[in-house]
Amino acid sequence: QSLPIFSSEEISKHNSKDNGIWVSYKDGVYDITDFVDLHPGGKKLTCEKIMLASGGPIDAFWNMYAVHKTDEVLEILEQYKIGSLSPEDQKPIDLNDPFSKDPFRLPVFRINSKKPFNAEPPIELLTDSYITPNELFYVRNHLPVPEIDPDSHRISVDLGDSSIQLSLEDLKTKFKPVTITTTIQCAGNRRQEMSDFKTKGLSWGPCAIGTARWTGARVRDILLSAGFDPDDKTIKHVHFNGFDDDITNTSYGASIPKQKAMSLDGDVIIAYKMNGVDIPRDHGYPVRAIVPGYVGARNVKWLRQITVGSDESTSHWQMNDYKAFSPSTTFETANYKKAPSIQEMPVISAISVPKPGSIIDPEDGMVEVKGYAWSGGGRDIMRVDVSADGGNTWQEASLTKDDPDADDSAHCWAWTLWTAEVPVAAGKVEIICKAIDSANNCQPEWIGPIWNLRGFLTNAWHRVNVTVEN
């Protein structure tokens, strides 16, 4: 028997009760409209989450809510099968469009720009698991996603007077593999809050952040094997260059201080695995730099070359981007040459539950609040405080840190998830959170004093308005 074949575009049109709720799982296409009505327990939240998956692949959701991944549930799903997913379901490739070969993404993303693709997962899913599923990890691309042949790809380590070429196989076999759990955050995370006061950049909400386990070779080991002299005082920076895009002829590049790259405790690696599988194309396939505790922008994807120098990278993104300014600096007075590059990240936290605008039915006058907290530079989170009365009283959140690689690292690179029970009064309530890191750094109360025209490093107390029912 042959069921019809559907393209992902067709499936994406069925994402509401009115048009039917379709999802794909592996190569099957399912109409789960009735299933959503019947879902066990009829749990409102579960159905809201299923709705987030509607119109696209449900695989990532299944991985996340592993409870679903039982034979019984798969059998139930089989009853709703209506067809198969077209193997080449992409739109016809437009050779003039450098982005036409970008990979497929889940429709669930909140898209800030399509070309290049920049998107964050919905806040409802962000803190459901300590390790962010690859399919839900925020995507920050500056250029089209290159197609790289892993067999012929070489990473060139150029030290001026010596140079080595490493294949993917070399990277995996010639160096001790290390696995690092780290949170990566875009410098523009939460920019939206500053954008209300006009900034330049993509309007990120609070989800341009995620946590993954990366496996790769230490940059320290690679540089030493290429003959790098760590005592050479003239060298101050290690540069990473990405793959050249053959249509736009541009490549992304960035640099980090030599001390960070060469430190045994710095945990800077060239990764070839993300959460145990090949790095997805959107996240740098086949190899990328991982610079724990630093701004996302230095974790160069599609890595092609490592070099060293007395100065920072001359890349546009090192020189003329990823720099913050005083609140009084204007576009006319901003001096990019003089401003230091953003490297280590400051302490931040955000509320993921409840969502802004939620109507809450409190239990015994209490509401459950959840979120994440993280600090750069390997600093741990010591405490998260939550208030629902404008900061007059604070509840200490209970903290969860499930970093499976914590014992092997001298530093804390991954985020802390937290939950707090907070007393609330009926009516309109602003819920606030703030975190304190292991150096006792705390978040500023308000964005005013940290506002900058680029909208970088928005780490003021996070605020969510909700309505509490009587």
Ligand X SMILES: *[C@@H]1O[C@H](CO)[C@@H](O)[C@H](O)[C@H]1NC(C)=O
**Which residues are catalytically annotated?**
39, 68, 140, 186, 322
96 binds ligand X (CB under 6 A): no
Which is closer to ligand X, CB of 248 or CB of 398?
Answer: 248
Q: How far is CA 318 from CA 55, 235, 241, 274, in A?
A: 38, 17, 11, 25
CA–CA separation, 313 and 239 (whole Å): 6
Residues 6 or more apart from 333 whose CB is under 8 A from it?
none
CA–CA separation, 236 and 390 (whole Å): 46
312 binds ligand X (CB under 6 A): no
The single residue among 163, 310, 326, 465 that binds ligand X, judged by CB under 6 A, is 465
The single residue among 249, 335, 392, 470 that binds ligand X, judged by CB under 6 A, is 249
- The DSSP annotation for 389-441 comes to STTSS-EEPEEE---TTGGG-SS--S-EEEEEEEE--SEEEEEEEEEEETT--
Q: Tell me if the bond preceding 340 is cis, omega within 30° of 0.
A: no
For β-strands 15-16 and 20-25, DSSP reports them as antiparallel
Q: Are 442 and 425 in contact (CB under 8 A)?
A: no
1 binds ligand X (CB under 6 A): no
Minimum CB separation of residue 340 from ligand X in Å reads 28
Which is closer to ligand X, CB of 120 or CB of 267?
Answer: 120
CA–CA separation, 350 and 340 (whole Å): 26
Minimum CB separation of residue 187 from ligand X in Å reads 21
Q: State which amino acid sits at residue 137.
A: F
Which is closer to ligand X, CB of 16 or CB of 465?
Answer: 465
Minimum CB separation of residue 250 from ligand X in Å reads 9
Which is closer to ligand X, CB of 371 or CB of 377?
Answer: 371
Residues touching ligand X: how many (CB under 6 A)?
A: 4
Minimum CB separation of residue 462 from ligand X in Å reads 8
Which is closer to ligand X, CB of 236 or CB of 463?
Answer: 463
Residues 419-448 that bind ligand X (CB under 6 A): 430
Question: How many helices (H) and strands (E) would you count in the chain?
Answer: 11, 28
Which residues, in sequence order, are bridge partners of residue 395? Answer: 386
Contact letters for ligand X, residues 181-220 (x by CB under 6 A)? ----------------------------------------
Residues 13-52 that bind ligand X (CB under 6 A): none
170 binds ligand X (CB under 6 A): no
Which is closer to ligand X, CB of 165 or CB of 465?
Answer: 465
Minimum CB separation of residue 427 from ligand X in Å reads 11
Minimum CB separation of residue 353 from ligand X in Å reads 15
CA–CA separation, 460 and 448 (whole Å): 9
> Given the rule CB under 6 A, which residues bind ligand X?
249, 430, 463, 465
